Amino acid sequence: MEFINNILHNCEETSLNIVKSEETSLSVSAWLKMKFHIAFCKCCRNFGKQTKAMDKALQHHFHENISQQETIAPRELKERIKENLQKM
């Protein structure tokens, strides 16, 4: 039984590794355990698909659709921030 526990992750560990794999690379053993678990667990497989879809949607929304004008703060806002900082 210990051998199987070393090979398989539970759903909690797998979902954590799915999220981690979106941001950074996993160790080979963690990646293999995650892939092996996903092969047999429909819930984790769906979670992985949903995570990828949300990541794509967020990247599209925040990175590709921002125009130069949206990233520049209005002069009035800058002045209010300076005034509030000076009051501190």
Q: What pLDDT, on the 0 to 100 scale, is given for residue 7?
A: 62
pTM, two decimal places: 0.61
3-class secondary structure per residue, the chain: CHHHHHHCCCHHHHHHHHHHHHHCCCCHHHHHHHHHHHHHCHHHHHHHHHHHHHHHHHHHHHHHCCCHHHHCCCHHHHHHHHHHHHHC
pLDDT in tens, 73-88: 677 887 888 887 777 6
In the chain, which stretches have pLDDT less than 50?
Answer: 1
